[in-house]
C-alpha cells in the first residue's frame, strides 16, 4: 500500500577514527542543513574532547605504519584514493550542491579538481625528498647528509568553504611525506568530508592515517591544538577567530604552526599555490647525519 506521508529516516554519520566509523563518546549530534532550501540533509556526530584524544592515539599508531611504507607504496595508495573518488564523482557533486550555495558546474569542477590534486601528490611522493635532501660540503674525512623526515601527527582545521577540495588540498601534502592527521571538518558543510571518509576507508590506507571529526569548532580546536602528542597544526580555516588561541596552544609543546588559509577558499583552485614542494616541506623535519669517510 502506498504511504505518501511516510516518515523519512535521515542518515546518521559517525566519526572516522582509526579506520573505523565510531559513535561519538558524547552521543551528541547536530543536523546538516541545505543552505538553499533549509531542509535537513542528515545527522552529524558532534565530537568531544574524548574523541579528540582517541583520534590522536589512532593517528600516532597510523603514523608508525604509514611512515614505514615506501614512498612508492604511499603513491600507489594515493592513486587508489583518486580512483575511488572519481568513481563516485556524481555523488560528491550532488552532496556539494546540497551543502553549499553553488551551481552544478561549480560542484563538478570542485570534484574533478580534487581528483587531479590527489593524482599530482601521488606522483610526487617518491620524488620530493630528492629535492629537499642534500649532501652537505664539510671538512675532509666526513660525509654529511641532510634527510627529510615526517613530522608525525598533524592536526588540521578546515574552512567551511569548498568542503571537498579543501580537505583534499590539506591532507595530500601532509600524508604524502608520511605523516598522519586528525581533521576538524567544515562545521556548516560536513557532508562531503564525511562521504570522503568512506572513500578513504576503501583505499588501502592503514588504520589511523586519516581521522575525520565533525562538530562545533570552538569546542574542539583548543583540545586538538593543545594535545601534547600532536606535532604540527595546519590552520586552514579562512575565519581567523581561533588563530591566536591555536598559536598559544601550539607553543605549549613547541608544535609547528602552519597558517595555510585562503581567503574565501577561492585559491584552492590555484594549482601553483596548492601543488608545490613548499606545501610538503611545511610538515617535514630535516635530520642531518655525519659519517666518517672510509679510506
pLDDT given at position 5: 75
d(CA 76, CA 168): 16
Quote the pLDDT of residue 295. 53
pLDDT in tens, 193-238: 999 999 999 999 999 999 999 999 999 999 999 999 999 999 999 9
Instruction: Read off the pLDDT band of 136 (50, 70, 90).
Output: confident
Q: What is the pLDDT of residues 10-35, one digit of tens each?
A: 889 999 999 999 999 989 999 989 88
* The pLDDT of residue 9: 79
* Mean per-residue pLDDT of the chain: 92
CA dist 162 and 168 (Å) reads: 10
Rounded Cα distance between 33 and 117, Å, is: 28
d(CA 262, CA 268): 7
DSSP state of 8: P
Confidence of residue 3 (pLDDT cuts 50, 70, 90): low
Query: 75-115 pLDDT, tens per residue?
Result: 999 999 999 999 999 999 999 999 988 899 999 999 999 99
Percent of the chain scoring above 90 in pLDDT: 76
| Alpha carbon 25 to chain centroid, angstroms | 22
The number of angstroms, rounded, from the C-alpha of 113 to the middle of its chain's C-alpha atoms is: 16
Domain layout of the chain by residue ranges: 13-22+70-292
Q: How many Å apart are CA 34 and CA 246, to the nearest integer?
A: 30
As a whole number of angstroms, the distance between CA 25 and CA 46 comes to: 9
Q: How far apart are CA 187 and CA 159, in angstroms?
A: 8
Task: Give the pLDDT confidence score for residue 137 in this predicted structure.
Answer: 79
| Predicted structure pTM score | 0.92
pLDDT reported for residue 111: 97
Is the CB of residue 219 less than 8 Å from the CB of residue 48?
yes
CATH number assigned to the domain covering 13-22+70-292: 3.40.605.10
Amino acid at each position: 500500500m502506498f504511504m505518501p506521508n511516510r516518515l523519512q529516516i535521515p542518515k546518521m554519520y559517525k566519526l572516522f577514527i582509526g579506520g573505523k566509523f565510531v559513535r561519538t563518546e558524547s552521543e551528541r549530534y547536530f543536523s546538516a542543513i541545505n543552505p538553499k532550501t533549509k531542509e535537513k540533509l542528515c545527522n552529524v556526530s558532534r565530537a568531544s574532547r574524548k574523541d579528540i584524544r582517541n583520534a590522536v592515539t589512532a593517528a600516532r599508531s597510523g603514523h608508525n605504519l604509514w611512515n614505514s611504507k615506501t614512498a612508492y607504496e604511499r603513491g600507489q595508495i594515493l592513486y587508489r584514493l583518486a580512483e575511488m573518488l572519481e568513481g563516485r564523482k556524481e555523488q560528491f557533486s550532488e552532496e556539494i550542491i546540497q551543502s553549499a550555495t553553488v551551481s552544478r558546474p561549480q560542484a563538478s569542477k570542485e570534484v574533478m579538481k580534487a581528483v587531479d590534486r590527489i593524482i599530482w601528490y601521488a606522483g610526487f611522493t617518491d620524488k620530493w625528498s630528492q629535492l629537499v635532501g642534500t649532501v652537505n660540503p664539510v671538512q675532509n674525512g666526513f660525509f654529511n647528509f641532510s634527510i627529510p623526515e615526517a613530522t608525525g601527527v598533524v592536526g588540521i582545521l578546515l574552512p567551511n568553504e569548498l568542503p571537498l577540495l579543501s580537505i583534499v588540498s590539506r591532507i595530500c601534502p601532509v600524508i604524502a611525506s608520511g605523516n598522519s592527521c586528525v581533521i576538524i571538518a567544515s562545521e556548516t558543510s560536513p557532508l562531503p568530508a564525511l562521504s570522503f571518509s568512506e572513500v578513504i576507508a576503501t583505499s588501502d590506507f592503514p588504520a589511523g592515517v586519516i581521522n575525520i571529526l565533525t562538530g562545533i569548532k570552538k569546542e574542539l580546536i583548543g583540545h586538538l591544538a593543545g594535545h601534547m602528542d600532536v606535532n604540527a597544526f595546519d590552520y586552514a580555516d579562512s575565519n581567523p577567530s581561533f588563530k591566536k588561541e591555536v598559536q598559544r596552544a601550539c607553543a605549549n609543546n613547541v608544535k609547528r604552526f602552519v597558517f595555510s588559509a585562503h581567503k574565501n577558499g577561492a585559491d584552492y583552485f590555484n594549482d601553483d599555490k596548492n601543488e608545490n614542494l613548499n606545501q610538503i616541506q611545511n610538515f617535514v623535519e630535516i635530520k642531518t647525519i655525519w659519517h666518517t669517510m672510509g679510506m
